[in-house]
Amino acid sequence: MNSLINKHVSFVDLGIMDYPRAWDYQTRLFEDILLIKKNNRDKPASEQEPTPNYLLFCEHPHVYTLGKSGKEENLLMAPAALSTINATYHHINRGGDITYHGPGQLVAYPILDLENFFTDIHQYMRSLEEAVLQVLASYQLAGVRVPGMTGVWLPSPDRKICALGVKTSRWVTMHGLALNVHTDLSYFDHIIPCGIEDKAVTSLQQELGREVSMTEVKARLQKSFYSVFKMTA
């Protein structure tokens, strides 16, 4: 464990940002934390530097991303045709299969040194889900986990409202979760979301049958993150 545990998390709202820019941004933070940890190994405890943590929120223009274990055939359009729907496509270094990001979807990228919190990847994934479950509960929606799958769902029938995909190295995290707030769900028609063929997708707006404020959802998700992970601002 770190000699100096740091539960402070810097929150940054990136607004609407192209996927490659956001990926580069979180990668720089991720690599900076890894460098601090590497340098700490060569220092006495009294000289070690605490590692920082970040929580990034953003929305992306229409984009499909394929995780390192994903299957190309789960993109149902030819990549060259994506420009006709104003979308782009990127192979990325998170786990999981293909997913969609776009306006009206809240993406959260926790860049954390888990040695500041707990060293358990299973617990980390369940904690991400719990943060979203608390947001849904605040809207009187009973979200659930589906055995054997990641993410957050609404039941009967199961429909996915939040997807997860992460990368970790030496207990440092990047990538994260995507919560459909008032997303244009028709964009999911062009993929097999997360490689799962028999499940639907949904959004907060669709479930509530009314407009939902992205600003309000951001505030609630930030609050639940800090509560679940026992972070300090």
d(CA 203, CA 183): 7
8 forms beta bridges with 232
Instruction: Find the helix packing angle between 121-138 and 214-228, rounded to 10°.
Output: 140
Q: What is the mean pLDDT of each run of 10 residues along the chain (233 residues)?
A: 81 98 97 97 92 98 92 92 96 90 98 98 98 98 93 92 96 98 95 73 97 98 98 94
Domain annotation covers residue 21: yes
CB contact set of 189 (below 8 Å; sequence gap of 6+): 76
For the chain, how many structural domains are there in total?
1
Give the pLDDT score at 192. 85
Domain annotation covers residue 2: no
CB contact set of 14 (below 8 Å; sequence gap of 6+): 22, 25, 56, 57, 58
Report DSSP letters for 44-73, one per residue. -GGGPPPPP-EEEEEE-SSEEEE-TT--GG
d(CA 233, CA 228): 13
User: Among all residues, which ones are annotated catalytic?
Assistant: 194
Confirm if 52 and 6 have CB atoms less than 8 A apart: yes
d(CA 51, CA 38): 11
d(CA 159, CA 117): 31
Domain annotation covers residue 54: yes
Strands 63-66 and 88-91: parallel
Domain annotation covers residue 3: no
Give the structural domain span for 105: 10-228
Assign 75 to helix, strand or coil: strand
Confirm if 140 and 130 have CB atoms less than 8 A apart: no
| φ/ψ of residue 75, rounded to 5 | -90, 115
Domain annotation covers residue 1: no
d(CA 140, CA 9): 28
Assign 100 to helix, strand or coil: strand
Domain annotation covers residue 233: no
Confirm if 73 and 48 have CB atoms less than 8 A apart: no
Written as six digits, the tokens of 8 are 């402070």
* CATH code of 77's domain: 3.30.930.10
d(CA 61, CA 16): 7
